[in-house]
Structure 1
Amino acid sequence: MKLAGYAVAIAVLLALWGCEAMVFQPDSRLYATPADLNLSYREVHFDSRDGTRLSGWWLEPGNVPRGTVMVVHGNAQNISAHFLGFDWLVRAGYEVFIFDYRGYGTSEGSPALEGAVEDTEAALAYVQAQRRGRVTVIGQSLGGALLFNALARQGTERIALAVFDSTFASLPQAGREALDRSIVGWPLQWGASLTLTDRYDPIGIAPSLAVPKLYLAGSKDSIISPNHSWQLFDASARPRAFWLVQDAGHIAAFNDSRIRARFLAFLRRPAFDPDASAMLIFDTIKQKSE
């Protein structure tokens, strides 16, 4: 990471320590719509637990859907940017629901961790009320942590598969690692342990989350080390899988057409290798669990 990147990371983390809401980087800009990609979609609205009005998009394939996929996006921008990473799923015949938690896009309210978890719970409940079958859920980066917490609270009975893409195992750990990449930030690492909350850390949830799980990580992720995905995989009950995508960056695994094809095959027939060592490439993962 360049010096400017270190400075940004440090500034963001220092802000996080002073205010939980700074975990989030929302905006209301309209980047694109599915219509721009010749995809059919519907905008819908639903309420979170406290009555906050949330917005979402249903992206619809031309024929009867092969299945339903719900996406919980990361901490920046809004659905009008994040849906662009999932148009291929729609073209493959799946309907995709993507929503903005509070403070993002046209959703009401102001961002906060507890509120965002409740929003993710509300989105799950909304999708399951609209569809009778089982649902595949994908959480990216911070969205993966929100999804972990929402599934732990709401249950996984109607979840076919939970996918966690570039998700941190522990927020304080991620903060320390970001600071450790900079000479300037190194002395501040102790502060991350003291001030970044671990209340929503996925690593504490993974062992008891009773749902098939797929972890994705890019070997060149400079934001969240792939070691986080390994830790979550290692802590998880079976069935579980971990794909380390060579040369991919943060939430970039699905940019690889080969990974897209493999994932579509996995959706049709999930295959969980019982031998974890056959699924991992360790040379890019530091401090791995043995």
Structure 2
Amino acid sequence: MKWTGYAVAFAVLLALWGCEAMVFQPDSRLYATPSDLNISYREAHFDSKDGTRLSGWWLEPRSARLGTVIIVHGNAQNISAHFTGFDWLVRAGYEVFIFDYRGYGASEGTPGLEGAVEDTQAALAYVLARRSGKVTVIGQSLGGALLFNALARQGTERIALAVLDSTFASLPQAGREALDRSVVGWPVQWSASLALTDRYDPIGIAPSLAVPKLYLAGSKDSIISPNHSWQLFDASARPRAFWLITSAGHINAFAHPRVRQRFLSFLRRPLFDKDASAMLIFDTIKQKSE
């Protein structure tokens, strides 16, 4: 039994080593379309930096457009599964653009971190070339890390607000924590620091990213600890805000009606209190000791 445990742990180690693709879990299944939710939409096609053909959807409000929101989704499935978490934004009057990285949905190519960052850059450029004024961007989980990297390269001049929902501060740290939660993974948790690159870690970008930032975290997130969002908030240049959502899980904050309403108010009039404790409006968290 002892050796079986070591064998499984070794298998986990092998899976991590050099397997960047393990970070991505794409599929091409069509889960739903905006029409299923009575939302008008248009398909979009554009090229990434290396010519990889990408796909996305414009979700269109029935009323006058209040603004444009770009969604950078998480590491699993594709846009046909993720757009359903943002139909309320469309019904509130916001135009939503959501796209798939390479290897996801109808997008061409094979998933990879560098390619996904370039795909996110391409999506930002595609939308900004077609819309005037500023836009809001929302990155969920891995999408938040991709978004931070894309903004660092692309610039933030036309970004009104960047929202990071359940995003890890450090990929190796998140990997260590995932292994630590497993009986068989705990003995090799150190391997995550060697196997997973820190090149794209948001924690290294946050201090210099000059854009208003809102961090969301669920107090019951069992995939990415809320402490990651706290670390990012703590390291970020102002203006910044951090909402810890009571009883929410991973990328689950916007499932709560009161969070949606508060966010819609925040979009209309962003308020960034200088007192960090005042920003934790849905729950409490022990503040770091200086």
3-state DSSP of counterpart to 1:130: coil
CA distance in structure 1 between the partners assigned to 2:208 and 2:148 by the alignment: 11
3-state DSSP of counterpart to 1:145: helix
Aligned position for 1:177: 177
Moved over 6 A (4+): 8-13, 281-284
3-state DSSP of counterpart to 1:259: helix
Aligned position for 2:226: 226
- For 1:18, the aligned partner's letter is G
| Number of residues of Structure 1 aligned to a counterpart in Structure 2 | 283
Aligned position for 1:217: 217
Cα shift readout 1:240-265 (whole Å, capped 9, x = no counterpart): 00000000000000000000000000
Cα shift readout 1:59-86 (whole Å, capped 9, x = no counterpart): 0001221000000000000000000000
Cα shift readout 1:8-50 (whole Å, capped 9, x = no counterpart): 9997775233311221000000000000000000001000000
Aligned position for 1:201: 201
Contact 1:79 1:100 in 2 (8 A): yes
Alpha-carbon shift at residue 277 of structure 1 (Å): 2.0
Aligned position for 2:155: 155
Contact 1:226 1:285 in 2 (8 A): no
CA distance in structure 2 between the partners assigned to 1:72 and 1:10 by the alignment: 33
Aligned position for 2:70: 70
3-state DSSP of counterpart to 1:98: strand
1:49 aligns with 2:49: yes
Aligned position for 1:38: 38
Q: 1:235 to 1:289 in 2, by over 3 A?
A: farther
**Counterpart mapping for 1:130-141 below 5 A:** 130-141=130-141
CA distance in structure 2 between the partners assigned to 1:52 and 1:289 by the alignment: 47
**Counterpart mapping for 1:95-134 below 5 A:** 95-134=95-134
CA distance in structure 2 between the partners assigned to 1:209 and 1:14 by the alignment: 35
Contact 2:12 2:185 in 1 (8 A): no
Alpha-carbon shift at residue 182 of structure 1 (Å): 2.1
CA distance in structure 2 between the partners assigned to 1:182 and 1:282 by the alignment: 30
CA distance in structure 2 between the partners assigned to 1:221 and 1:13 by the alignment: 24
Contact 1:13 1:175 in 2 (8 A): no
1:191 aligns with 2:191: yes
CA distance in structure 1 between the partners assigned to 2:76 and 2:215 by the alignment: 21
- For 2:20, the aligned partner's letter is E
Q: RMSD value over aligned CA atoms?
A: 2.0
- For 2:223, the aligned partner's letter is I
Contact 1:215 1:243 in 2 (8 A): yes
Q: 1:214 to 1:289 in 2, by over 3 A?
A: farther
- For 1:188, the aligned partner's letter is V
Alpha-carbon shift at residue 195 of structure 1 (Å): 1.2
CA distance in structure 1 between the partners assigned to 2:263 and 2:283 by the alignment: 23
CA distance in structure 2 between the partners assigned to 1:223 and 1:15 by the alignment: 18
Contact 2:165 2:216 in 1 (8 A): yes
Calculate the TM-score normalised by the size of structure 1: 0.93
Contact 1:161 1:214 in 2 (8 A): yes
Q: 1:13 to 1:207 in 2, by over 3 A?
A: farther
Q: 1:113 to 1:289 in 2, by over 3 A?
A: farther
CA distance in structure 2 between the partners assigned to 1:102 and 1:95 by the alignment: 23
CA distance in structure 2 between the partners assigned to 1:208 and 1:234 by the alignment: 13
3-state DSSP of counterpart to 1:18: coil
3-state DSSP of counterpart to 1:144: helix
Q: Which segments of 5 or more consecutive residues in structure 1 lack a partner in the other structure?
A: 1-7
Contact 1:230 1:288 in 2 (8 A): no
Alpha-carbon shift at residue 186 of structure 1 (Å): 1.2
Alpha-carbon shift at residue 278 of structure 1 (Å): 2.2
CA distance in structure 2 between the partners assigned to 1:117 and 1:58 by the alignment: 20
